[in-house]
Amino acid sequence: MRKDILKVLVAGGLMTGSLAMGGCSSSGDTIPAPAPPPPARPPLPPGAIPGTMAADRDGDGVVDGYYTSDGVYHPTCVPPPSGSRGERG
């Protein structure tokens, strides 16, 4: 009698396991769609140098120079402001 009960329990456990795992099976091989390409970079603004980082050292909101990829700072040459001072003529 115990053997019969044990057979029923084992068979019931196997059937329950196969039903539970039935949801995991796939009906066909599906390949996921490839990811879309990343968006294109926007164009560089006028006067920008590719591969550099603009630097505002004095904090006035105007770019004073730039850093290259090796960490070296390069100041930009800005002409002196024109005004009414100086020689005339």
> What would the two tokens of residue 88 be?
């005339």
pLDDT-wise least confident of 43-47, 70-74, 83-87: 83-87
pTM of the model: 0.36
pLDDT tens for each residue of 22-37: 555 566 678 889 999 9
Q: Which residue in this structure is represented by tokens 């402001």?
A: 81
| 3-class secondary structure, 30 | coil
Neighbours of 67 (CB within 10 A): 13
